[in-house]
Structure 1
Amino acid sequence: MGIYYSYPELQRKFCEGFGFLPFSNLEQSGSSIYKRYSPAPDLKKTIDCVDQDYALESLHPQMLLLMLQQRNIPLAEALLQHLEQANRLFGSQCSGKHLLFYGHILEVIRTYRDILYVFQRDVLRNIELQLECPGGRPADINANSVHHIQVIVTELINSTVIIHEFLNNSISGNSGEKPALTGITEDILDTLTRKLKQFTLLMEKMVYILKQWEQQILQMYRKQTMN
């Protein structure tokens, strides 16, 4: 995995040599080296605006890393624990005349638990490792890869909404197959549905940050191409 250098970082590296061997007709302002083609009294303000744009490029990955470490990953781990707890409870009750009711719930919970486990291990943890690299993000993260992450997260959101609605319907349903739920069973289901709702909202915020990051990357690409 290569180290990613942002455009201003490359400028600063160039500035290190520029101080010893200045190029004719080039000027330096902060970390920017440029050639003046016409008088422009407000040129410094323009350069400051450009530097601010490049500073924004690293803002979204920093926000995403903080969000992953403080909220997404801990909540995903807590949700996996609640899913396993529900799996054990319903597994012990999956017998007799209520076999079909609890069997269906077990199937849904186990399927989603396996999906979330893979997502936690292969997506969230992997993104965290990549964002912890020097420079804020590795060179192989670009607009296409950020968009691909959005697609994966959106798919998990859809799966989370489905299981949330299913469990809500299971709790509130009046089917003759539904057994009288004990206090422990209701508490576990209530906690699980609440965690699923929280996780859905958090993943939607993650998608929003990813979309903003993708747009920022594309904007910087266009500016670099024009330059």
Structure 2
Amino acid sequence: METAPHTPAHIAIIMDGNGRWAKERGLPRRDGHRAGAESVRECVEACKQLGIQYLTLYAFSSENWNRPPAEITALMALLERFLEQKAEEMMKQDVRLQAIGHLDRLPPKTRAKLDAAISRTSRNRSLTLVLALSYGSREEITEAARSLVEDAAAGKISPADVTQDLFASRLYTAGIPDPDLLIRTSGELRVSNFLLWQISYAEIVIYRKFWPDFKQADLMDAVAEFSRRHRRFGGL
């Protein structure tokens, strides 16, 4: 089956290159992350203008916990400032915030600010901004499989009950449509353990520029590229 060109309902972005952006300028890595926060704002603005329903950002992977403690502390502080400063803006723009991942691994202060922002924006409907935090797709898939095995062992379901829809309902993204478009910055050609189940049929657009240089016009350009493609979903 082939669909006509259209605007994606859900865009997912691997925001890569903050550290290299800073290194090229002789700046500490934290300055690259700060600059990247402005690109988040611009992409939210673009999604609002284009009528995109969901925007998922790979903000902090489960592997990122292996970074130096000082960098992790700086990233958590930046996330806290983002949540504090942008909550009011999200309310004005009717943006709902959600988060996926092992959120219990976040520092208590960071988790509290995240929960507060999610609760405050829960009634907004124009755009849902999903932050992937302490997120790893293999972990997500493993946990989904484990939950089904546990239910089968308890007699709640039988093996014949396990369908793709049931499996998807056990993922962190349950209730969120799969991404139509995946964008990655910095020119890397890999998906880095991000939404492995969900991006099965996503169109992929790669940009060589680092994330802090990715602006509103770039997201609109990616959507224009998406609209020129014909999605066959395995058909002719």
TM-score class normalised by the smaller sequence: under 0.3
Structure ranking higher in strand proportion:
2
Higher relative contact order (CA 8 A, sep 6+): 2
Normalised to the residue count of structure 2, the TM-score between the two structures is 0.24
Bigger proportion of residues as helix:
1
TM-score with structure 1 setting the length:
0.24
